Structure 1
Amino acid sequence: MTTAYRTPWPGPPTGQEDEPSPDAADGDGGWPERLAEAVSAADAPDTVFALSRLGRRTIVTGGTGASPGRPRDRLRYEIGSATKAFTGLLLAHLVDSGRLTGGEPAAALLGTRRPPGRTPVTLAHLVTHTAGLPALPAGFYPRALPAWRTNPYGRYPDARVVDAFLRHRPRHRPGTRWCYSNFGVAVLGHALGAATGTDWQDLLADRLLAPLDLHDTAPAARDDGLDAVGHRKDGTGTLPAFDAGGFRAAGALRATPHDLLTFLEAHLDPARCPPLTGALRAVRTPVLRRGFGHRHVHTVAWFRHPTDGGPLYFHCGATLGQQAFLGFRPDTGTGLAAVCTRRYRSNDPFLTTAYALLAEEP
């Protein structure tokens, strides 16, 4: 069963660098039907596809499971690695406000000087996945295996993440190779905390969540009955709430689809949040190109792909039992947040469907 509705976005977009196309502002563009098809294709116990386009929101919910007892769009979902878009924006804000430069050596912030002759790993290296770090610390797997199907990250706390980083010797000079790393962004979170004297989650709440009015976004499950419950790949068998352990900055956030749309709408119209305007504009800027013909483009917070009308920005995330897709297109004035309570599986239609909807030309 699916539920669809549309809500207004307060005020028209202003101050955008890329003017959206005036395609279907006076109609629904068929979005309720298309989003309903996407919800069905996801084949998950709980699914929400939420779209903001040219100042109007369309939200469709549904699922194969029993009703969670509350509207699905009002639940908080684990967004996994899409948390990195928030951490990247946080760093951009600290740089924009003059608090940091991005060139600070992470080890120095965390209390250790680098050995003579070694190129230091900077905050910029960590956020762009060019620090020479693996996806996870070498010692992660032995500790995680006993809880591999329930909560592997929870067995690797803050101190172990920091210690593993300070002991690690990169195989490649920082800044020379790209390797997607939960480890690196986790270290970035701890380094930002050390640099500001404020823990990452408190820093995030103060500098991002409050200015953006994201009141239903949190770095951990809450005991209020509003957290969505994850399921295994086949959509059966519930899983415990995800515990990110010392990797919070890389994957801990939970958020409602409404908050995720608000987050994306701020990226579409940076001027609507003056404290973060500079940072919201900065995270659109390419900082890294890689691959054959430099086809893969990254900002400090997003993957950036070309379309005929302009760039598309996105980030995906998954925990043991939930998935998320976040993306926006300034040229069409579109933001899309999609969440579901089922673990990623091979040939999964959830992410490909979400991406295709955002990439669709007007």
Structure 2
Amino acid sequence: MTGAEPDVGLLDEAVRAVDAPDVVFGISRDGHRTVRSGGTRPATSPVPRDRQRYEIGSASKTLTGLLLADLDHTGVLSAADPVASLLDPNRPPGRHPATLWHLITHTSGLPPLPADLYPRALPRWYTNPYAGYPSERVVRAFFRARPARRPGTRWRYSNFGVAVLGHALVAATATPWERLLTARVLRPLGLDDTVLSPTGPGTDATGHRADGVTPVPPLRIGGFQAAGAVHSTPYDLLTYLEALLRPEGGPLATALLEMRRPLLRRGRGHEHTHTLAWFCHPVEDGTMYFHIGATSGQVAFLGFRPDRGTALVALSTRRYSRTDALVPTAYALLAGCSRRNPPC
């Protein structure tokens, strides 16, 4: 029996557990990859499911965090820099300014979304809620915001905050977002099939509403690029997670190691931690890092366990719902890999 055979059975079982038009599960154990796919729709695309690009939604924030860690390490800027001063050098930062660090760790005090986004987003809530909210509006909303809590005192997940972070990094480096992330993160890690906007049918997987039948248009992210713009293939995502598992000696090594360092305690009993961009949970025999992403028609789970040399990618093309099996299936598979599969 080869080392890959147990994974084939586990992943095939995981694929069958998820009711979606397209489903892909991929696992890497000490650099050995197994990828399996399936789904409810006929596989008619000339590009196989495991070679298409998927929207990873909020899991994009982990790449934004990695970019910030690299810019900080190389001295381009400091994660402690006040955001307001980067976006407008003529504006005083205030007594308790939000910093870049606050934005990426969701401790800035900003709400999940700007209040004035909702009227624009509601007519397209199930297709492209961010498309009508451009970059300049995100920045204006930041300057208008009056956080309910002082930055650094409370964790509250915020797409708004990470979107603002992207614009602050653009301002600090005088480099457009796509070029900045591509040059400093995607290309050094060899993520050549990872992009920040839709590229077309066939290459891009098609998302679907919660009914699993009705297609939705490709993601248009407006001014929220840093919070959720990434489109990637299962193999590129495994490459990314493998770099996090074994950063030593590779590109961005210091920044990748920084991404694994626990920074905040949160959750019931403060048993969960949060790194610069990853959720970190204790599991049997170790620790797992993960992030989830959901768009109008797709769901993504990225996770890795340095203690086991294991990384997991799970993707589907059906809008997330409470009954969606992808996230719990992926979470259980990664958390329990040492119990169910001895080679883990």
Give the TM interval when normalised to the shorter protein.
over 0.9
**2:84–2:93: 8 Å Cα contact kept in structure 1?**
no
Q: Which residue of 2 aligns with 1:323?
A: 299
Partner SS, residue 313 of structure 2: strand
**1:112–1:166: 8 Å Cα contact kept in structure 2?**
no
Find the partner of 1:179 among 139, 156, 159: 156
Q: Which residue of 1 aligns with 2:230?
A: 253
Does 2:110 correspond to 1:133? Answer: yes
Instruction: Write the distance in 2 (CA, Å) between the matches of 1:72 and 1:266.
Output: 23
Cα distance per residue 1:183-228 (max 9 Å; x no partner): 0000000001101111222111000111111011001001373011
Shift of 1:30: 1.3
Shift of 1:152: 1.2
Find the partner of 2:243 among 266, 272, 282: 266
Shift of 1:147: 1.6
Instruction: Write the distance in 1 (CA, Å) between the matches of 2:281 and 2:319.
Output: 25
Q: Which residue of 2 aligns with 1:66?
A: 42
Does 2:84 correspond to 1:107? Answer: yes
In structure 1, list runs of 5 or more residues that go unmatched: 1-23
Does 2:54 correspond to 1:54? Answer: no
Q: Which residue of 1 aligns with 2:308?
A: 332
Instruction: Write the distance in 2 (CA, Å) between the matches of 1:326 and 1:30.
Output: 21
Shift of 1:53: 0.6
Q: CA separation of 1:36/1:165 partners in 2, compared to 1, >3 Å: closer, same or farther?
A: same
Partner SS, residue 324 of structure 1: strand
Shift of 1:115: 5.6
Instruction: Write the distance in 2 (CA, Å) between the matches of 1:179 and 1:345.
Output: 21
Partner SS, residue 154 of structure 1: coil
Shift of 1:41: 1.0
**1:266–1:272: 8 Å Cα contact kept in structure 2?**
no
Q: How many residues align?
A: 337
Partner SS, residue 232 of structure 1: coil
Q: Which residue of 2 aligns with 1:35?
A: 11
Find the partner of 1:200 among 167, 173, 177: 177
Find the partner of 1:145 among 109, 114, 122: 122
**2:130–2:222: 8 Å Cα contact kept in structure 1?**
yes
Cα distance per residue 1:319-348 (max 9 Å; x no partner): 000010000001111000111100011122
Instruction: Write the distance in 2 (CA, Å) between the matches of 1:319 and 1:151.
Output: 9
Instruction: Write the distance in 2 (CA, Å) between the matches of 1:231 and 1:52.
Output: 28
Partner SS, residue 33 of structure 2: strand
Shift of 1:43: 1.0
Cα distance per residue 1:139-194 (max 9 Å; x no partner): 01011112222211001010110100011111110000111000000000000110
Does 2:62 correspond to 1:80? Answer: no
Instruction: Write the distance in 2 (CA, Å) between the matches of 1:292 and 1:27.
Output: 37
Identical pairs, percent = 59
Partner SS, residue 339 of structure 1: strand
Partner SS, residue 155 of structure 1: coil
Instruction: Write the distance in 1 (CA, Å) between the matches of 2:303 and 2:30.
Output: 15
TM-score, normalised relative to structure 1: 0.90
Cα distance per residue 1:78-100 (max 9 Å; x no partner): 00000001101111111111212
TM-score, normalised relative to structure 2: 0.95
In structure 2, list runs of 5 or more residues that go unmatched: 339-344
| Structure 1 counterpart of 2:135, one-letter code | D
Instruction: Write the distance in 2 (CA, Å) between the matches of 1:291 and 1:280.
Output: 24
